[in-house]
Amino acid sequence: MNIAVLLSGGVDSSVVVHLLCEQGHRPSLFYIKIGKDDADYMDCSAEEDLEMASAVARRYGLSLEVVDLHREYWDNVATYAIDKVRRGLTPNPDVMCNKLIKFGCFERYAGKDFDFTATGHYAATILQNGKVWLGTALDPVKDQTDFLAQIDYLQVSKLMFPLGGLMKQEVRDIALKAKLPSARRRDSQGICFLGKINYNDFVRRFLGEKEGRIIELETGKILGTHRGYWFHTIGQRKGLGLGGGPWFVVRKDTDENVIYVSRGYETEQQYGYEFSMQDFHFITENPWEGVEGEIPVTFKIRHTPDFIGGKLLQDGDGYRIVSEEKLQGIAPGQFGVVYDEASRLCIGSGEIKYSIPLNPQYPLS
Ligand X SMILES: Nc1ncnc2c1ncn2[C@@H]1O[C@H](COP(=O)(O)OP(=O)(O)OP(=O)(O)O)[C@@H](O)[C@H]1O
Residue 180 touching ligand X (CB under 6 A): no
Report which residue type is found at 264.
Answer: G
Q: How far is the CB of 167 from ligand X (least distance, A)?
A: 14
Residue 45 touching ligand X (CB under 6 A): no
Residue 18 touching ligand X (CB under 6 A): no
Tally of CA atoms within 13 A in the half-sphere of 318 that contains its CB: 15
11 is in an annotated binding site: yes
Q: How far is the CB of 256 from ligand X (least distance, A)?
A: 37
Contacts for 120 with CB less than 8 Å, ≥ 6 apart: 6, 8, 10, 11, 12, 13, 14, 15, 16, 162, 163
Exactly one of 3, 4, 13, 101 binds ligand X (CB under 6 A); that residue is 13
365 is in an annotated binding site: no
Euclidean distance between CA atoms 159 and 333, whole angstroms: 27
Exactly one of 4, 31, 156, 283 binds ligand X (CB under 6 A); that residue is 31
Which stretches within the chain are classed as H helix?
11-22, 45-60, 70-73, 79-86, 93-96, 106-109, 153-158, 168-177, 199-207
Question: Which of residues 162 and 350 has its CB atom nearest to ligand X in the complex?
Answer: 162
Residue 125 touching ligand X (CB under 6 A): no
Residue 246 touching ligand X (CB under 6 A): no
Cβ burial 61-70 (10 Å sphere, 16+ → b, else e): ebebeebebe
Q: How far is the CB of 1 from ligand X (least distance, A)?
A: 18
By beta-carbon distance, which residue lies closest to ligand X?
A: 10
Q: How far is the CB of 95 from ligand X (least distance, A)?
A: 12
Question: Of 44, 105, 192, 346, which residue is the catalytic one?
Answer: 192
184 to 203: interface string for ligand X, x by CB under 6 A = ---xx-x-------------
8 is in an annotated binding site: yes
Residue 104 touching ligand X (CB under 6 A): no
The alpha carbon dihedral of 204, 354, 341, 271 has a sign of: positive
12 is in an annotated binding site: yes
10 is in an annotated binding site: yes
Three-state SS at 144 = coil
The two beta strands, 131-135 and 345-357, are antiparallel
- 44 counts as catalytic: no
32 is in an annotated binding site: yes
Euclidean distance between CA atoms 172 and 169, whole angstroms: 5
Q: Which stretch binds ligand X (CB under 6 A): 118-126, 217-225, 281-289, 356-364?
A: 118-126
Q: How far is the CB of 103 from ligand X (least distance, A)?
A: 10
Q: Which stretch binds ligand X (CB under 6 A): 11-19, 35-43, 148-156, 204-212?
A: 11-19
- 105 counts as catalytic: no
Contacts for 231 with CB less than 8 Å, ≥ 6 apart: 200, 203, 204, 239
66 is in an annotated binding site: no
- Catalytic positions: 97, 192
Q: Would you tell me which residues interact with ligand X (CB under 6 A)?
A: 6-8, 10-13, 30-32, 102, 119-121, 187-188, 190
